[in-house]
Amino acid sequence: MSTQQRFVMNTWYAAAWEHELDNTKNLLARKICDVPLVFYKTADDAYAALDDRCCHRAAPLSMGRVEASCLRCMYHGILYNKAGKVVEIPGQTHISNNMKVRAYPVSAKGGMIWVWMGDAELANPNHIHDFPPLVDKTNWRGFEKEAYLHYQANWMLIVDNLADFTHVAFVHTNTLGGSESYAYESVPDEVDELDTGLAIKRWHKNSAPPPFHQRVIPQAEHDVSLDRLNDIEMHIPGVFLMKTQFAPAAPEGKSDASDPHREYRNCQYMTPETWNTTHFFWNYLHNFDLDNAATTTSLKDSLFEGFMEDKVVIEQQQLLLEQSPDFVPRGIGGDKALTVFRKKWRERLNEEVADNASSGEHTSRPVNIRALI
Amino acid sequence: MSTQQRFVMNTWYAAAWEHELDNTKNLLARKICDVPLVFYKTADDAYAALDDRCCHRAAPLSMGRVEASCLRCMYHGILYNKAGKVVEIPGQTHISNNMKVRAYPVSAKGGMIWVWMGDAELANPNHIHDFPPLVDKTNWRGFEKEAYLHYQANWMLIVDNLADFTHVAFVHTNTLGGSESYAYESVPDEVDELDTGLAIKRWHKNSAPPPFHQRVIPQAEHDVSLDRLNDIEMHIPGVFLMKTQFAPAAPEGKSDASDPHREYRNCQYMTPETWNTTHFFWNYLHNFDLDNAATTTSLKDSLFEGFMEDKVVIEQQQLLLEQSPDFVPRGIGGDKALTVFRKKWRERLNEEVADNASSGEHTSRPVNIRALI
Amino acid sequence: MSTQQRFVMNTWYAAAWEHELDNTKNLLARKICDVPLVFYKTADDAYAALDDRCCHRAAPLSMGRVEASCLRCMYHGILYNKAGKVVEIPGQTHISNNMKVRAYPVSAKGGMIWVWMGDAELANPNHIHDFPPLVDKTNWRGFEKEAYLHYQANWMLIVDNLADFTHVAFVHTNTLGGSESYAYESVPDEVDELDTGLAIKRWHKNSAPPPFHQRVIPQAEHDVSLDRLNDIEMHIPGVFLMKTQFAPAAPEGKSDASDPHREYRNCQYMTPETWNTTHFFWNYLHNFDLDNAATTTSLKDSLFEGFMEDKVVIEQQQLLLEQSPDFVPRGIGGDKALTVFRKKWRERLNEEVADNASSGEHTSRPVNIRALI
């Protein structure tokens, strides 16, 4: 079976919120880019990521036990260090050099454990698209256990969704949008290419506060028309970072961002589990009412409601696409951002495939004649 | 991926009972012959059928909203008319000509919405095999919400079932049959070929009333031996229409149909959802006790019980056939009708495939290089 | 579709405990080596096994009815004898010679119905690896309804598990093992090749009674150190027979087996249902407290708990292997027994494939142009 490379591997993927490893075993099984991984926290609070498959007989290491900085397979007791090397085989003194599994670079930032799926020598934690509000407790407040959703859809369909906020008018009319007018009246996108993705600004001028916002502002402000700005960055492979501000509507011209009334910060990380399923991580932070837990909870609930509205559409879209291999999408004006993002991602993938080919790293492998089953 | 044509497309398929569209959204998603469709009722009570997949990004139109005679996709707000043409894109003035989905001819008759899956120019509603008793309230009474079952089986296996009533003796002994003697003693079939299928008559002479019938006749008639006639028409692709009569057993010779005691009418429509699943629609009507709801309900319940007896056998048959690609069926005398029907269906399919080939309509398509996932 | 032979067919497979046929219909549907079979008990308490697929239209015979020594298909009433030959077709006098299904040799021994999947002429019941303790009620007591588990895993992974008891230390620490020291301290295996498999002896000297044993011995013995011997035979295709003895620890040298304190007998039969699923049959017998039902029940519960610990590991292993077609296992010292067993099984399979090829029995078959669906 030959396999074509479908994912960009030389990049940092959001793998797990740190709190997901706070369980009795301090470990987590998670597949990323079709690769089953085990993440674990060592006794000194460091993280490690290994192939979740013992090199001996393919038992899952995620059924194992953390011992100091090592992980023991609990089938026949083989012990691995953080580098994936076997350091003990019960009842046996010699350990051959091929007794090992692959280890993956990991780095924790902003509560998220990031994993590098490609060439370890190229892994530089400075290239992680960190999101400062997540750790800036002075100015921002989000919910403490950052959230996770599992999608039955290719991650790029979620990226598409986020690249055109027209959908806010129709999918989220009664939650995040407020009215269908958002689709007709909001100021057209400014789309700027970035090295690793793009930036989008979208104004919706002189409009009523949308439902999720209205729920957390004083009654007196409910009738005040607002200028709403969504200021977005989107990075390869699937990192979405957004600043949102609501300010009283400016009487003429474009409202400026110098004195926003209320602001939000939102991160959404889309990480492919397989080609057709996605890990989705998110938090939503506010810069007002910092010590009012009801505000934080209300926003979490509203956003969750909105994300579930997306999820049902996108998962149906996925089903239809799986059944329609010949479907050719028709473009509309709103596709500008997603077209740019997909083009940049495709270029990165092509570069990587070309590099691997020239360096002799074959992506197709011979059939294994020694398979267990 | 090349796909071989497996269904007759230039024919009317039973798609949905009209009452199935009486929901808050006036629409229904239903796949027919592997094609995902959306059926909707317009503000003026007409019906339309479109590909259930927005031409923009493949969101399902069945998650959309009917507006007058149009249907709006509720992902990015694109509006389609009944012909499948896009007539509005929010935030955009120009609409290119390729913004459209396929529309399918539909026609409502006898409470059923029929759809034509092939060349629209050939669609003639007069060719629908209408069933007059469904709308003849003077002489016939069935249940008001005609019934629907979903089969995990190829529709032709249900056709086979209906083509040989020997199974009534064994599958339906205690419901529709009455005794196993039906298989041994009933008069052999008369099978006549029709243009679009066949006709079968089968007598069971001088036998006790079967359980479903006994439940709705007076106690005094329970011991009266009857001559039972099933008079069947079966049409391509899967339309089964049956007249049943029970008359007191004639002392000698064949009983004639001139003065039947009690009669039933039954329609069963089998429509392929996919190659391995089927939509099954039915009603069962009686010509006596017209205003006795208990009679109507009893018959519905009895027939439902019988159909579920078939369903479990046929779905197991399907499972075995899927696991046995090399199975070669052995024929018996009772196969005469199903053999004729399958032959006629196969000829229709072959003709259609040949016509498409000569007209340049290729059934295999090139791989789509612009797919979304 | 051509199919490569993957199972040894000329061998006896454990098919069903006799008590599994003690139901109202006296029959059981069970797939073995990918072949759907129906097992039934005749009126004179003999057993028969046929292809579970009527030769007429592929209805399952396991939905049928036993009549004396015959089985009737309850779709159209076709009657089969024990040899698989059709002996009655309702409403038809002539029965052509090709109206038949394949019958398989069966033999009941020790409460188990064994089936021969290959050439019937080679079937010799004396080659069944019978397990005398199952019927020796004078010296042994097990539970009456011998147990069955269904595995979502290739049967050879269960064989592997049983071939290296190191796993007892880690998978079964708190049930069958007792401590992880079993893996480090127990005497190395003696592995002897047998004609049809292998024999293994493994001592664990001077150790505390493991939990399952402690639960059924008097309190006074809880602190007595024991020498434990597991004495195993494993036969192709998947027959595991074990003698276990616990004796007070001998002060020096190897303890001998002449005066064991307490003994157990255990059979485990692994029969492939498909390549990726397995029927697992077992009993566990003790030679003490023969009339104490609490002892029998305690052992059944303990062993069941232990087998479920294996099952979760092995089924995860299966999942990982299905996802990892290129996985190459790395050997360790403990693999000696499983390596021998797999080699012997592979030789048997290769011999059989070669024999079939030279005798013209093709394992690939042409596409069936007369298929029902």
Whether the predicted pLDDT of C2 surpasses 50? no
Q: Contact at 8 Å (CB) between C240 and C232?
A: yes
Mutate to test the interface with C, among B161, B312, B316, B339 (most CBs of C within 10 A): B316
Instruction: Inform me whether the C-beta atom of residue B367 falls under 8 Å from chain A C-beta atoms.
Output: yes
Among A341-350, B106-115, C244-253, name the one with the lowest average pLDDT. C244-253
Question: In the structure encoding, which two tokens stand for residue B231, read together?
Answer: 């008079």
Cβ pair C280, C314 in contact under 8 A = no
Model confidence at A211, pLDDT cuts 50, 70, 90, reads very high
DSSP C85: B
Q: Which of B53, B75, B92, B369 to mutate to test the interface with A (most CBs of A within 10 A)?
A: B75
Cβ neighbours of C325 in A, within 8 Å: 1, 367-368, 371
Of the given ranges (A207-221, B71-85, C359-373), which has the lowest mean pLDDT? C359-373
Alpha-helical regions (H) of A277-366 = 293-323, 336-358
CATH says A18-127 is which class?
Answer: mainly beta
The helix/strand count (H/E) of chain A reads as 6, 18
Mean pLDDT of A130-143: 95
Average pLDDT score over residue span C122-138: 96
CATH architecture assigned to B133-349: Alpha-Beta Complex (3.90)
Q: C319 to chain B, minimum CA–CA distance in Å? A: 22
- Tokens coding A70: 């090592």
Q: Is the peptide bond before C210 cis (omega within 30 degrees of 0)?
A: no
Which residues in chain B touch residue A183, judged by CB atoms under 8 angstroms apart?
76-77, 90-91
* B76: nearest CB among A157, A167, A322: A167
Give the whole-angstrom CA distance, residue B36 versus residue B56: 16
Query: Cα(A80)–Cα(A64) distance, rounded to whole angstroms?
Result: 10
> What percent of chain A has pLDDT above 90?
84
Q: Which of C318, C327, C333 sits opposite A92 (nearest CB)?
A: C333
Residue of B nearest to A274 (CA): B373
Residue A68: DSSP 8-state: T
Say if the Cβ atoms of A156 and B372 lie within 8 Å.
yes
The 10s digit of each residue's pLDDT in B275-333 is 999 999 999 999 999 999 999 999 999 999 999 999 999 999 999 999 998 899 999 99
**C233 forms bridges with which residues in the sheet?**
C199, C241
Interface test with B, best of C50, C76, C100, C362 (most B CBs within 10 A): C76
Residue C105 predicted with pLDDT over 90: yes
Q: Which residues of C touch A60 (CB under 8 A)?
A: 316-317, 320
Contact A39, A47 (CB under 8 A): yes
Band (C283; pLDDT cuts 50, 70, 90): very high
Residue B368 confidence (pLDDT) above 70 = no
Question: If you search the block for the tokens 């995620």, which residue do you land on?
Answer: A62
Chains in touch with A (3+ beta-carbon pairs under 8 Å) read B, C
Terminal-residue alpha carbon distance, chain A:
15
Q: Do B316 and C60 touch (CB under 8 A)?
A: yes
pLDDT at B361: 63
Q: What whole-number distance in Å separates Cα of residue C32 and Cα of residue C26?
A: 19
Residue from B169, B151, B159, B157 nearest B207 by CA? B169
Q: In this structure, are residues A166 and A334 in contact, taking their beta carbons and an 8 Å threshold? A: yes
Nearest to B332 among C58, C59, C89 (CB): C89
What is the model's pLDDT at position C373? 76
**Closest Cα in chain C, distance from residue A294 (Å):** 42
Q: Tell me how far apart the alpha carbons of residues B97 and B208 are, in angstroms, rounded to a whole number.
A: 67
Q: Give the C-alpha distances (Å, rounded to integers) separating A244 from A189, A200, C321.
A: 15, 12, 46
Does A97 contact C at CB distance below 8 Å? no
- CA of B371, closest CA in chain A: separation in Å? 6
* Rounded average pLDDT over C118-125: 97
Q: What is the mean pLDDT of chain C?
A: 92
pLDDT value for A255:
53
Distance separating alpha carbons of residues C16 and C46, to the nearest angstrom = 14
pLDDT band at A250 (very low <50, low <70, confident <90, very high): confident
pLDDT value at B365 more than 70: no
Q: Considering chain B, what is the average pLDDT of its residues?
A: 92
Listed residue (C206, C225, C140, C216) closest to C176, CA to CA: C216
Identify all chain C residues contacting B321, using CB atoms and an 8 Å cutoff: 58, 371-373
CA distance A357 to chain C (A): 20
Residues of chain C positioned with their CB less than 8 A from the CB of B332: 56, 76, 78, 89, 92, 99
Q: By the 8 A CB rule, do B240 and B254 touch?
A: no
Per-residue pLDDT tens over the stretch B148-174: 999 999 999 999 999 999 999 999 999
CA separation for the pair C179, C171 (Å, rounded): 10
Domain-by-domain residue ranges, chain B? 20-127, 133-349
DSSP β-bridge partners for residue B282: B147, B268
Per-residue pLDDT at C367: 47
CATH architecture of C132-349: Alpha-Beta Complex (3.90)
CB proximity list for A36: less than 8 A, separation 6 or greater: A29, A51, A52, A53, A60, C320, C323, C324
Query: Cβ contacts of residue A356 below 8 Å, gap of 6+?
Result: A5, A362, A363
User: Within 10 A of C18 (CB to CB), how many other CB atoms are there?
Assistant: 17
Separation between Cα atoms, residue B124 and residue B114, nearest integer Å: 11
Task: Kindly state the tokens that stand for C30.
Answer: 């069970």
Q: Which of residues 168-227 of A touch B (CB under 8 A)?
A: 169-171, 180, 183-184, 186, 188
Token couple for A101: 């599994």
DSSP annotation of C200 reads E
pLDDT for residue A355 is more than 80: yes
Measured between CA atoms, the residue of chain A closest to residue C167 is A76
Nearest to B170 among C76, C365, C373 (CB): C76
Helix/strand/coil (H, E, C) string of B97-131?
CCCECCEECEEEECCEEEEECCCHHHCCHHHCCCC
Å between A348 CA and nearest CA of chain C? 26
Total CB pairs under 8 A between chain B and C: 107
State whether C183 and A91 contact (CB < 8 Å): yes
The reported pLDDT for the residue numbered C21 is: 97
Residue C363 CB contacts under 8 Å (≥ 6 apart), including other chains: C2, C3, C4, C5, C353, C356, C357
d(CA C187, CA B239): 74
**Topology alike, domains C12-127 and C132-349:** no
**Residues in chain B, total:** 373
CATH topology of domain C12-127: Rieske Iron-sulfur Protein (2.102.10)
Mutate to test the interface with C, among A94, A100, A367, A373 (most CBs of C within 10 A): A373
Q: Please tell me the least confidently modeled range out of B256-265, C17-26, C282-291.
A: B256-265
Q: How far is C350 from chain A (nearest CA, A)?
A: 15
What whole-number distance in Å separates Cα of residue B70 and Cα of residue B357? 35
Predicted confidence at residue C1, as pLDDT, reads 34
d(CA A310, CA B75): 9
Output DSSP code: residue C366: P
Per residue, the 3-state secondary structure of A227-291, as one string, reads EEEEEEEEECCCEEEEEEEEEECCCCCCCCCCCCCEEEEEEEEEEEEECCEEEEEEEEEECCCCC
Average pLDDT, chain A: 92
Inter-chain touch C76–B183, beta carbons under 8 Å: yes
What is residue B134's three-state secondary structure?
helix
The 8-class DSSP code of residue B266 comes to: E
Q: Which residue of A has its CA nearest to B54?
A: A329
A169 close to A210: Cβ distance less than 8 angstroms = no
Structure tokens at B246: 């029970």
Query: Going by CATH, does the domain composed of B20-127 fall within 2.102.10.10?
Result: yes
Residue B142 is which amino acid?
A: G
- The bridge status of strand A79-80 relative to strand C106-109 is unpaired
Residue A2 burial by CB count (10 A; 0-12/13-18/19+): exposed, middle or buried? Answer: exposed
- Amino acid at the residue C250: A
Q: By the 8 A CB rule, do C29 and C37 touch?
A: yes
The DSSP H or E segment spanning A162 is helix A155-163
Own/partner pairs for C221-228, CB < 8 Å, 24+ apart?
C224/C248, C224/C249, C225/C249, C226/C261, C227/C203, C227/C255, C228/C203, C228/C204
- With the C-alpha atoms ordered C301, C305, C306, C311, is the resulting torsion angle positive or negative? positive
**Model-level ipTM above the cut of 0.85:** yes
Q: What integer is the mean pLDDT of A284-310? A: 97
A39 and A12 Cβ atoms separated by less than 8 Å: no
Q: Tell me what the mean pLDDT of segment B70-87 comes to.
A: 98
Nearest to B58 among A180, A275, A317 (CB): A317
What b/e sequence results for A134-170 when a residue is b if at least 16 CB atoms lie within 10 Å of its CB, and e otherwise?
A: beeeeebbbbeebbebebebbbbbbbbbbbbbbbbbb
- C-beta of residue B158 within 8 angstroms of C-beta of residue B151: yes
Are A183 and B91 an interchain contact pair (Cβ–Cβ within 8 Å)? yes
The set of residues, in sequence order, having a beta carbon less than 8 Å from that of C83 and lying 6+ positions away, is C100, C103
Residues 14-53 on B with a CB inside 8 Å of A are 34, 36, 52-53
Give kind and range of the element (H or E) at residue B184. helix B181-185
pLDDT in tens, C306-342: 999 999 999 999 999 999 988 999 999 999 999 999 9
Q: Tell me which chain C residue has its CA closest to the CA of residue B189.
A: C91
| pLDDT, position B27 | 97
Which positions in chain B touch C93 (Cβ < 8 Å)?
none
